[in-house]
A and B are shown apart, each in its own frame.
Chain A
Amino acid sequence: MPVIPRESHSQRYERWVYLTLLRSMANPGQWENFPKTDMHSPTGLLGAFQMGCRCLLDAEPMIWCEPGNSPLISALSDLRLRWASDPSEADYLLLNLDPSRIMNCIHTLKVGTPLYPNASATLLIALPTRNGSFQKANLSGPGIRGERIASLPAIDGNFWAARNTACRYPLGWDVILFSNEAVMSVPRSTNINLAQPETESGPEPH
C-alpha cells in the first residue's frame, strides 16, 4: 500500500498564510485576513509579520532589517537568512519598528532592470499601531476592478510619493503591509493617485 502523506496542522496553517498572501497580491489595496486557527501559532503584530516572513523568505535572497530589531532577527534565526548590510543591496526589507527609517535611503532601493525586473526590492512593513494615520488614495491597475479607494497607512509624509517615483512598471518595488491579523499588498503594477494629500486618523480599516 502506498503511504499517503497527510498535511500537518502547521503545514496547513503555512499554506493558509501563503494563500492569504497570494490573494493579497492579487487584490491590491485590500486587507486580507489571516486565517484563524486553534493551533499554536504566533499571535499579534510580530506573529503575523513572522508568519509572512517565514512564508516568503529563505536562504537565497538578501534581507535587510532595521538595526536593533533583535526580537525579529532571533525569531527568524532558524531560516538561516542572508543579511544585507545596506538597504540598497536587499531583495527584502523588513520594517516593523519604524518604517519611516527607510526614508533617508528610499531612492537607493533596488527597482530591477528591464532585463530582470524581478531583481527588485520587496518591502515587508508591519504597522506599528492599530490606530495610526491613513491616507486616502485611488488605486487602479491589475487586480482592481476599475478603481479602488483605499486607506493607505501614512508611513511617512513622502513614502507613497516616493513609491510612485520609484515604480515605473515593470520596474519598481512591491510593498506588503501587515497588521495584527491581516495583510495588504501594493505591487508595483498598481497606480496610486494621491489625490487627497491630507491624512486621516482612525481605526485600522478591516
Chain B
Amino acid sequence: MKCPSPAVGERGGLQVTLTLTGQEDRIKVFDQGADESVNAANLRRFIARMTGCSTTTDTTQATILQSRHRIPEEMLRDDQILVLQVPDPEPLRSVEFDTSRAQEMHAFKDYGLMWLKLYEQLVRYGSFIQGASYPVMVHKRYVMSPSPIPRWDTPKLNQSAHLTILCAGREKRIYAIPPWTDVEPLEFSDRFFHVEDHSEWVCRLSGVRHKFMNEIPLADGTSGFELSDTGYLSKALKSGSDPAQSAGACYFDADGHFHQPGFLKFEEGDARKE
C-alpha cells in the first residue's frame, strides 16, 4: 500500500509507527524535541486518526515514541519503543559513496576510513566536529548511524532499557537496537567523545540547567536558551525550577552527570572530568 505521506522525510518512521500502533497505545511524536512543531503535530494527528490511539506529550506516559532527531531527556523504560526517523542510514557514506563497497567494509569490519576521518578532524580542529549522526559501534561489531540526533543524545542509546527502531523510508532500510546493547560512540583511547557543553546555559523559561538547549537569538543581538525537549520543559514549568518533582529520572542528572558513571570519559585536566 502506498503510504499517504510526502515523498521526502518521515516516511520510514511513520511506516514503523503505523505498523506497531493500535487503539491501546498512547503515542508521542516530537520533532527536534518539540511536540508542537507543525511536522510533529500533523504526524501525531495522522497516526491517531489512522490507528485510533491516544496521544500525549509526556514521555513517561507514551507507549510508542516517534522522534525526528532527538531522544527525550527523561529515561525510557523497557515497555516503551522509540522510533527514530533516519534520512541517511549509511554511516560510511561520507567516506565511501559506493554503497556496494560500503557493504563490503561492514562485512569485514573495515572501518579504517572512518577512523581516519575522525583523526583528520582532531588534527584540523582539535576535536571531533560532527554535531549530529555521530557514528557509533554497536555490539562491538557494526558501525551505525544513530540518525541525526545531537551528540548529547548519542550515549543514551548505550545499554538502554527500551527497544529502538530506526527506519529510512526513502532508502527502504530498517534497523534496530535491542535493549541492553552496547552502543559506543567512536573515540580514540586518548581522545574521547564528548557531548555538547551546555553547562553554562540556563533555560530562560524554567531556569533548568544541564539539559540540551536551543539557542534563541534575541532582539538585542544576544542569545537566550530554552530547553529543547518541550515535554520536559512543560513539567519544569509546572514544578518551578525543580522538574524532579514531576518528571521521571533523566539520562543526565541535575548536575549534568550521565546516568552510567564512567561511560563518558574526559581527558586529563578537563574541568568536566567526573
Contact = CB atoms under 8 A, between A and B. Distances in A.
B181 interface: yes
23 contacts: A4-B49, A4-B50, A5-B50, A7-B51, A7-B52, A15-B20, A16-B22, A18-B19, A19-B20, A22-B20, A26-B179, A114-B108, A115-B103, A141-B139, A142-B139, A142-B181, A142-B182, A143-B178, A143-B181, A144-B180, A145-B179, A145-B180, A170-B141
B180 A143 contact: yes
Given A12-B23, A26-B163, 13 more contacts: A5-B50, A6-B52, A7-B22, A15-B19, A22-B20, A26-B176, A114-B108, A143-B179, A144-B180, A145-B179, A146-B180, A170-B141, A189-B178
Interface of A: 4-7, 12, 15-16, 18-19, 22-23, 25-27, 113-115, 141-146, 169-170, 189
Contacts of A27: 178-179
10 smallest beta-carbon distances between A and B, as pairs:
A114-B107, A143-B178, A142-B181, A142-B178, A145-B180, A115-B107, A26-B178, A26-B163, A142-B139, A143-B179
Contact of A12 (B22, B104, B141, B142): B22
Contacts of A146: 180
A4 B45 CA distance: 12
B141 A15 contact: no
Contacts of B20: 15, 19, 22
Interface of B: 19-20, 22-23, 49-52, 103-104, 107-108, 139, 141-142, 159, 163, 176-182
B50 A15 contact: no
B178 A25 contact: yes
Nearest to A7: B22
A34 B102 CA distance: 39
Contacts of B49: 4
A142 B104 CA distance: 24
A51 B141 CA distance: 33
